[in-house]
Homo-oligomer: A and B are copies of this chain.
């Protein structure tokens, strides 16, 4: 089957790229209140792009947080409907001093676009819009019905889309959702992700003395909030990375033997991964599990940030009154977030050292998701992917979390095609995040091709 939109993409390369760079210049950091106007600007940019792509009923929907953007085109009766989801907000760019070029001044180097959001998710959500535009330009119509729902709170755990979804079921009803927020297993290798981990994100605040105290005068008698927090956090995992919260592994469903077998066949050089992706002296994690099992099919616990006491240059001899850490747990299929949150809170209470008081704040909690690989849309997506990239499509899981996939399942009863085009080294969430220009163009053609196959 020919790639009908390839000529259009080839003829419009410069414009398609310029538009994306303009999108990337908007610092739509949803987690930081200072960027609220920028987040709105990004929503308006998306709405304008949807209108330009000839989509109808374009709406910027107000919410209690950042706006949602909706659009549709429903003039293919008897054909399936695809709900295209993405997000126009981005992670904070910290640490700023590690960026080679500024995060919101997109720069092309070696065929890559360097910018915060280049791959997660602006570069990918924009492919969906351009796929529709290219189909209209090529055929004057679309091969199936489409709906777009694009949010601005994916990176800040906002509630807007989860609130909106159950109240707008008939408006959003579709046969399948399409999300491009995952990566190719290897450069040039078509990849569909059929499982995602869930996420519980929390803050733990520890308090010791009522104020910062002089460590000479009170050292030996007063509890230290940092040391108390450190003692507590240190007990959450053993040296092998096993999480020590009682019952946390009880409901873990292991991957099927077929899945484990297929993962073992994926090209993977553990030493290369360690050196070029992780860059640590050794890899860590639970013994007896492969890297894929550890990152895709095992729960993990991480501390993302910690702060307390005096950290300016030089020496200050305080016993700090307060210290705080951000801690998350990744969940795998069958683990129930409510049950794990309760066990985690109990563990913190049981292991808070003497003289310290702790408070746990749960910022978000979502279950893991898996998708049935036998769905017809998955088959069409796999074929389209393979035909564009010229290699067989592989099925993987992802270690990260896309809570919306669970919401689509729960409220709309539909599976989600996770069809992402990032390269593994694109550095999402890191300084110098990038997205290859070639993947952007190939993504547009592939998504259009998938729509044509699925519409047939």
Contacts and interface: CB of A to CB of B under 8 A. Distances in A.
Interface of A: 31-33, 91-92, 94-95, 98, 155-157, 183, 197, 199, 201, 208-224, 226-227, 230-231, 233-235, 237, 239, 241, 273, 277-286, 289, 291, 294-295, 298, 300, 302-320, 323-326, 328, 330, 353-357, 363-364, 398-401, 427-432
Given A217-B295, A221-B294, A223-B282, 6 more contacts: A33-B313, A92-B316, A98-B211, A220-B286, A281-B356, A305-B308
A314 B400 contact: no
A431 B306 contact: no
A161 to B, nearest CB: 16
Contacts of A215: 300, 302, 304, 328, 330, 400
A313 to B, nearest CB: 7
A245 B203 CA distance: 31
Residue among A31, A230, A273, A294 facing the most chain B CB atoms (10 A cut-off): A230
A284 B315 contact: no
Q: How many copies does the complex hold?
A: 2
Nearest to A33: B313
Residue among A33, A212, A305 facing the most chain B CB atoms (10 A cut-off): A305
Given A219-B330, A221-B283, A401-B216, A316 B31 contact: yes
B31 A313 contact: yes
A98 B356 CA distance: 20
A328 B156 CA distance: 37
Contacts of A316: 31, 91-92, 94, 155, 304-305, 326, 429
Contact of A302 (B219, B235, B241, B313): B219
